[in-house]
Amino acid sequence: MTRKIKLTFFVACAGSAVLMMFILAVFPALADFKSARQSLDQKAYSDAFKACLQDAEKGEPGCQLLLSQILKEGLGMNKNKEKALNWLNKAAKSGYPGAQWLLARRYYKGRLVKKNYGEAARWVRLASDQNFPAAQTMLGLLHEKGRGVEQSDTRAIEYYRIAAEGKSYPEAQFSLGRMYEGGKGVDVNTKLSKEWFHKAAVQGHTGAQHELGTMHEAGPDEEMPTWLEELVEATAN
């Protein structure tokens, strides 16, 4: 039975805490696994692994990505980097954008694979072409730093803006704030910098929250107290 699994942008993050959110997001879509949610709530990762293994072997990319993460983190079983990479490659080669983005991150950081900016750029571009906001943001970063692609602050801003405006992706919003603050690819514009930091901050982006606080401490801003009040209200809910 073919299953379509729709995941939010944090699907492929590597941390075990985020992985748990990823798992809980995946399994409600798998109707045959009524006991899987209970196993996951109890952090019974080995049971979740077994429940998803058959679908992964049949080519379900969401399950392949899940198995890769569990094996990489060693959740409920011994870590196995080779098998983790194998499942991740399968999911990425199937065209799954979350897996393509995560594989790009692996090449960028040199985790599970040898660091290779060219491969990172190749895989992240495939995910970006599918309008995956985390990939669009990462591609912007590659252009900003000139790693695996031509260095271009202008192109970096283009990709940041696509994810920030089209998907309201907080990391992209924060990145735009940085570019306007530092005048990279654009004229310095403190007002726009604060606006983008604010958009990211109210979504819980700690870097943007820090930048807003620092800006407020650096000098008076009549608008800033209102923004800080909105930020406190948003993060408290």
Q: pTM of the entire structure?
A: 0.79
Give just the sign of the alpha carbon dihedral 8, 12, 16, 19: positive
In a domain, 195, yes or no: no
Predicted confidence at residue 63, as pLDDT, reads 84
Looking at the structure of the chain, the number of domains it has is 1
State how far the Cα of 192 lies from the Cα of 230, in Å rounded to an integer.
17
Residue 120 lies in a domain: no
How many angstroms separate the CA atoms of 26 and 20, rounded? 10
**Domain assignment present for 53:** yes
Does residue 109 lie in a domain region? Answer: no
Q: Which residue has the tokens 């990172």?
A: 120
Structural domain including 89 reads 1-94
Query: Would residue 197 count as lying in a domain?
Result: no
Residue 184, in any domain of the structure? no
Query: Is residue 166 situated within a structural domain?
Result: no
Residues of the chain with confidence (pLDDT) below 50: 1-15, 17, 20-28, 30-36
Letter string b/e over residues 193-217, b meaning 16 or more CB atoms within 10 A of that residue's CB: bbbbbbbbbbbebebbbebbeebbe
Tell me, what's the pLDDT at 51?
Answer: 79
pLDDT for the residue 235 = 52
Q: Tokens at residue 146, please?
A: 């000139």
- pLDDT for the residue 130: 96
Decide if 203 is inside a domain.
no
Q: What is the average pLDDT value for the chain, to the nearest integer? A: 82
